[in-house]
């Protein structure tokens, strides 16, 4: 057998090492619900840059620049070695996920491509690796559960989102598991064509919003804690939630009032998100648990999710507020960041000088279907889109 000279052998080994493919793996690959955590690990990144980045994609076949978010690999302590890992909670967007790693350097920054705060968006010229698909396992029931009062004192509305338009119901009773009543939920959805402009109707901002279900629990006793679930036998039921019904005979009403909250994401995206919102929900949940069986409600006064045309931020918002909104009515009124767009048929007289593009082309459509408030009036959009639900708030 022919033997290679030592120096040729060393050159061969070095060449093989330098050409080793970047590897990426994700665990677990099957999730049950929003908030489940995945860990993305990688190795063999040659000459790593502090701007190398991990992109989140849903659906998995999205173009490289259509990520929903990104994290720099340098957030992993071991990134300089060419290996590392990042753990992230994942929100169910009713489609699968994949993850991609890109190489990016400072010399490749394009100042014309930037986010809402003028930070440069990462470049996609050098794909290093792409993961397999991560899926949400079916059968675990609806998500984004939120309550609202109706115009009738002995009723409570519950809304939620699923990935199809099949029939879903709400069942409730005064004891957990003893369901005395069942009601079929009404179902609605909106389409990309209902948005009035980009980014809301563009290929980057639009994602399928799922099917919004709206059920009403009726004939409730005053000031009683009720337990409920939403879903179906064939597609799964939610975990049990509970609320305290309205009590018109009580001389006390507890209300939580705030505005301009937004939502938080565990990654950077095309616009700034609001990490402060985590603390807001944390402290409200603490207080709701402390008041026990007293009825209460929330009034979120305008500027709800700050999605501004990037639809998956609505999913993050409802996932974030569900621990609170599934326990007490979560009432809202529309703000400029849900509604504003120059083509809108209605605007306050005093707002003409400042009226802009704050709504990201949504023109109130996601807001108007994802919430159903008592006393709602509506304003025609002048298009095929659903009417905008009011009351309105502008700052």
39 touches 27 (CB < 8 A):
yes
Residues 316-327: what's their mean pLDDT?
98
> pLDDT band at residue 387, thresholds of 50, 70 and 90?
confident
**Segment among 74-88, 90-104, 250-264, 333-347 with least mean pLDDT:** 333-347
Q: Where are the domains of the chain?
A: 23-136, 143-390
Strands 186-188 and 211-217 turn out to be antiparallel
CB atoms within 10 A of CB 312: 20
Q: What is the pLDDT of residues 65-89, one digit of tens each?
A: 999 999 999 999 999 999 999 999 9
Output the six-digit token pair for 236: 């799964």
Q: Which of 237, 257, 328, 260 is nearest to 290 (CA)?
A: 328
> What pLDDT does residue 395 have?
37
Residue 308, pLDDT above cutoff 70: yes
**Segment among 111-125, 150-164, 178-192, 304-318 with least mean pLDDT:** 111-125
DSSP string, 204-235: TT-----EEEEEEE-SPPTT-EEEEEEEETTT
Residue 137, pLDDT above cutoff 90: yes
Query: Taking the model in full, what pTM does it have?
Result: 0.92
For the chain, what is the mean pLDDT? 90
Peptide bond into 199 cis (omega under 30): yes
> What pLDDT does residue 381 have?
65
> What pLDDT does residue 20 have?
75
Same CATH fold assignment for domains 23-136 and 143-390: yes
Sheet holding 98-103, edge to edge: 69-72, 53-57, 98-103, 126-130
Options 2.60.40.380, 1.10.3720.10, 3.40.718.10, 3.90.76.10; CATH of 143-390: 2.60.40.380
> pLDDT band at residue 3, thresholds of 50, 70 and 90?
low
Q: What are phi and psi of 183, to 5 degrees?
A: -140, 135
Q: Which of 59, 48, 45 is nearest to 99 (CA)?
A: 59
Handedness of CA 374, 380, 385, 391 (dihedral sign): negative
Side-chain-side CA neighbours of residue 351 (13 Å): 19
Measured CA to CA in angstroms, residue 314 lies from 205, 265, 273, 371 at distances of 11, 11, 11, 12
CB atoms within 10 A of CB 44: 16
Q: What is the pLDDT of residues 259-306, one digit of tens each?
A: 999 999 999 999 999 999 999 999 999 999 999 999 999 999 989 999
Q: What is the pLDDT of residues 344-374, one digit of tens each?
A: 766 666 555 666 788 899 989 999 999 998 8
Residues in the chain: 395
CB atoms within 10 A of CB 249: 7
Helices 276-291 and 312-325 cross at an angle (nearest 10°) of 20
> What pLDDT does residue 16 have?
41
338 touches 195 (CB < 8 A):
no
> pLDDT band at residue 375, thresholds of 50, 70 and 90?
confident
3-state class (DSSP) for residue 179? coil
Residues 7-24: what's their mean pLDDT?
56
Q: According to the CATH classification, is domain 23-136 in 2.60.40.2840?
A: yes
Measured CA to CA in angstroms, residue 261 lies from 132, 156, 258, 341, 360 at distances of 35, 24, 8, 20, 17
Beta bridge partners of 255: 297
Q: What is the pLDDT of residues 171-188, one digit of tens each?
A: 999 999 999 999 999 999
């Amino acid at each position: 057998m022919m033997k290679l000279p030592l120096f040729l052998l060393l050159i061969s080994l070095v060449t093989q090492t330098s050409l080793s493919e970047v590897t990426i793996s994700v665990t677990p690959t099957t999730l049950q619900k929003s908030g489940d955590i995945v860990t993305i690990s990688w190795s063999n990144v040659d000459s790593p840059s502090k701007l190398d980045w991990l992109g989140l994609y849903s659906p998995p076949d999205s173009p490289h620049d259509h990520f929903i978010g990104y994290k720099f690999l340098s957030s992993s302590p071991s990134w300089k070695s060419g290996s590392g890992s990042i753990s992230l909670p994942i929100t169910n967007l009713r489609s699968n996920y994949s993850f991609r790693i890109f190489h990016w350097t400072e010399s490749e920054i394009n100042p014309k491509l930037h986010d809402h705060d003028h930070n440069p968006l990462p470049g996609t010229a050098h794909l290093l690796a792409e993961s397999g698909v991560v899926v949400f396992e079916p059968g675990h029931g609806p998500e984004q559960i939120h309550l609202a009062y109706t115009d009738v004192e002995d009723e409570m509305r519950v809304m939620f989102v699923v990935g199809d338009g099949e029939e879903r119901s709400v069942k409730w009773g005064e004891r957990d598991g003893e369901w005395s009543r069942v009601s079929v939920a009404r179902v609605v959805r909106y389409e990309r064509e209902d948005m009035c402009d980009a980014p809301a109707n563009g290929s980057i901002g639009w994602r399928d919003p799922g099917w919004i279900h709206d059920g009403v629990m009726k004939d409730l006793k005053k000031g009683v804690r009720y337990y409920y679930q939403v879903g179906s036998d064939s597609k799964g039921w939610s975990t049990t939630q509970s609320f305290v019904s309205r009590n018109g005979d009580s001389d006390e009403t507890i209300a939580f009032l705030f505005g301009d909250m937004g939502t938080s994401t565990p990654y950077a995206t095309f616009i700034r998100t609001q990490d402060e919102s985590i603390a807001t929900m944390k402290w409200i949940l603490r207080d709701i648990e402390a008041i026990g069986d007293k009825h209460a409600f929330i009034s979120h006064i305008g500027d709800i999710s700050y999605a501004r045309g990037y639809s998956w931020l609505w999913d993050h918002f409802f996932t974030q507020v569900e621990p609170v909104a599934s326990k007490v009515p979560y009432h809202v009124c529309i703000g400029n960041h849900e509604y504003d767009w120059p083509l809108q048929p209605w605007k306050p007289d005093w707002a003409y000088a400042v009226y802009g593009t704050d709504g990201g082309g949504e023109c109130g459509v996601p807001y108007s279907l994802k919430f159903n408030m008592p006393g709602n009036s509506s304003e025609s959009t002048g298009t095929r889109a659903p009417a905008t639900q009011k009351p309105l708030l502008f700052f």
